[in-house]
Amino acid sequence: MIEILYQDDDIIVCMKPAGLLSEGEGSDSLLTVLAAQCGGQIYPVHRLDRGAAGLMVFARNSKAAAGLSRAVQEKQLKKEYLARISGVPAEKEGEMTDFLFKDSRKGKVFAVKRPRKGVREARLTYRVLWQDEDSSLVRVALDTGRTHQIRVQFSSRGMPLWGDGKYGSRVKGELALFSCGLGFPHPKTGKMMEFEAKPAGQPWRAINET
């Protein structure tokens, strides 16, 4: 059963479990599970990596989907994440800007030095919430929404997310990436909708100390 935080005739805000796809069809897709649980068609408007968990919003009709998609394009949909990373950033808060290249054949994204065909700029800001000897808990706000962006930008600086073997982590376990903050204008009323959530489980043992 998917945890629903809010729903009306136009939208559903829910908690995506780690391991489900945020797009597509099939029994391992959150769309399929939500459609069976809530009834009717579900329209995706943004994505979250399969291994990540946390807040997502979906549309329940095509008009709402168009409105939410417009909010994404106009950068009115705000997303923030918690990430447990290996190491500690030199600055307690800051900005990261990189050029990212998505290699579809390898199924990975790489940070590259200069723009070229297929390369897109990626920007985020972060703030360190907690740290110990060999890891940090950071809160991240995305300015751009590139594939695997948070994972690649921290990994390229020698700080892979816990559990992210794809991008160099030696820590076993689930991917320590959680969508903790979500804000957007309601596609019908225009009212600003804001949601916050906290993760639970092994990678997040420090979360209640922040």
**Single-letter code of the amino acid located at 79:** K
User: Which residues lie closer than 8 Å to 48 by C-beta, 6 or more apart?
Assistant: 16, 22, 54, 56, 179
Give me the torsion for CA of 47, 48, 50, 56, rounded to 10°.
-100
User: Is position 49 annotated as part of the catalytic site?
Assistant: yes
Please pick, among 9, 28, 49, 164, the residue that the annotation labels catalytic.
49
List the beta bridge partners of residue 126: 94, 140
Residue 183 near residue 59 (C-beta atoms within 8 A):
no
What's the rounded Cα separation, in Å, for the pair 110 and 153?
9
Which residues participate in catalysis according to the annotation? 49
